[in-house]
Amino acid sequence: MNIREFKSFEDKIGFSFRDKSLLQLAFTHRSFVNEHRELKEHNERLEFLGDAVLELAVTEYLFERYPDKAEGELTAVRAALVNTQSISATAQELGMNDYLLLSKGEEKDTGRARQYILANTFEALIGAIHLDSGYGASQKFIADNLFDKTDKIVEGRLWQDAKSKLQELAQDRVSITPSYTLIKEMGPDHNKVFTVGVMFDGVEIARGDGKSKQEAEQAAAKTALELKQW
């Protein structure tokens, strides 16, 4: 895929890059660079920048949108809005999967690993827009693609801490306090994926993945609640 083929994506998001190489870089996964040694960069530095811009933009929006909510609840809503599942789903809606530059091996994997790649690429794209045209442009992109999901999260209390809810219900219904065990961690230090199991009296009930142990524990608790139909 060359730079010209990203024109359809620019049309889709309503943003035209002045520096087209930044757009291509946002979609360039480390594995693609490993197979194309003539390339010197992948998107992880852009992802690092985009993650910070995303958090700032969402924080500003929530602060203004919900003046009566306390810090703890705002933090939980923000986490629900920018977690891997949420932003990878947004990336899917934008058709970003069709533009990823991946190795042949990564192209074959369409499961959970692809979800993380899409989430990371979404953050890299934010970083690229920020470098290309500044905070206002990146903030507008985030607003256009994420902010409309906020009311659904708040009204449905989808931000509620799954671990706390699971602990409360497990103690009430089966007199057990859930515990969490790290199953595995994969990836380089700056971009790890953690898998955690939630246990009832030493028996694994469910697993969850996340970019931090805390996110993985929340994912495991959420899955356990669904499996238990609590």
- Told to judge if 93 belongs to the known catalytic residues of this protein, a careful annotator would answer no
Is 11 exposed, middle or buried, given 0-12, 13-18 or 19+ CB atoms closer than 10 A? exposed
For 62, other C-beta atoms within 10 Å of its C-beta total 20
Contact 88, 82 (CB under 8 A): no
Euclidean distance between CA atoms 63 and 68, whole angstroms:
9
Sheet-wide strand order for 203-210:
179-186, 193-200, 203-210
Q: Is 51 among the catalytic positions?
A: yes
Q: What share of the chain is helix, strand, coil (3-state, %, to 5)?
A: 65, 10, 25
Active-site option among 123, 209, 215, 217? 123
Tokens coding 50: 């985009």
Among the listed residues 44, 47, 51, 132, the single catalytic one is 51
Indicate which residues carry an active-site annotation: 51, 123
